[in-house]
Amino acid sequence: MENIIENAKQRMNKTIEVFEKELSSVRTGRATSSMLDRVEVMYYGFKTPLNQVASISVQEPRLLLIKPYDKSTLKDIEKGIAEANLGFNPINDGEVIRISVPELTEDRRRDMVKIVRKINEENKVAIRNIRRDANDTIKKDKDTSEDMRRSLESEVQKLTDEFIKKIDTITSIKEKEIMTI
């Protein structure tokens, strides 16, 4: 039965990792290479993540520099950035691509906070689904006494509450980061 708790804890930790990775791609006022994590480029006929065909660096707080490993992919990289619909205007100088990250307006910041809250809720649902799966497994085991079953369900609930609180904490930090000018 301890296996059930441990399995639920591992799955919840994985959910937190995924949540943090999703949040890293949400744009704040500063340039980060993770802003381009969702960009895919057609590379020899296959969709390939941008970070596998080029190096991405932050030159200044609002400037990203993309240096392709193969210069013939510059146009494909530009196209991939446009298709990702990130609101960036890439500048190709024949050697590298520069992206100036525009400052966020108040309305755009509020939209970003809404996106963060949506991601927050999706991940809370994932945590609750893990709780449900663990409780179903506990209920299916006929060898466990009623008291033991209640104790395990209580432990699963404590674990769920702990991870939902972690998600809320991470969300509030990200919201403050977005709203800071």
Q: Per-domain residue ranges for the chain?
A: 2-25+105-179, 33-100
Q: Answer whether 56's CB lies under 8 Å from 36's CB.
A: yes
Q: Give the integer Cα–Cα distance in Å for 180 and 31.
A: 14
Q: Please, which residues bridge with residue 56 across strands?
A: 66
Contact between 7 and 15 under an 8 Å Cβ cutoff? The reply is no
pLDDT on residue 156: 94
Q: Determine the Cα angle at 95 with ends 90 and 97, to 5°.
A: 15
Supply the pLDDT for residue 8.
Answer: 95
pLDDT attached to residue 120? 95
What's the predicted TM-score (pTM) here?
0.70
CATH number, domain 2-25+105-179: 1.10.132.20
CATH level 2 (architecture), domain 33-100: 2-Layer Sandwich (3.30)
Walk along the chain (181 residues) in steps of 10 and give the mean pLDDT of each run. Answer: 89 95 77 84 90 91 91 91 82 91 83 90 96 93 87 94 97 89 66
99 and 58 Cβ atoms separated by less than 8 Å: no
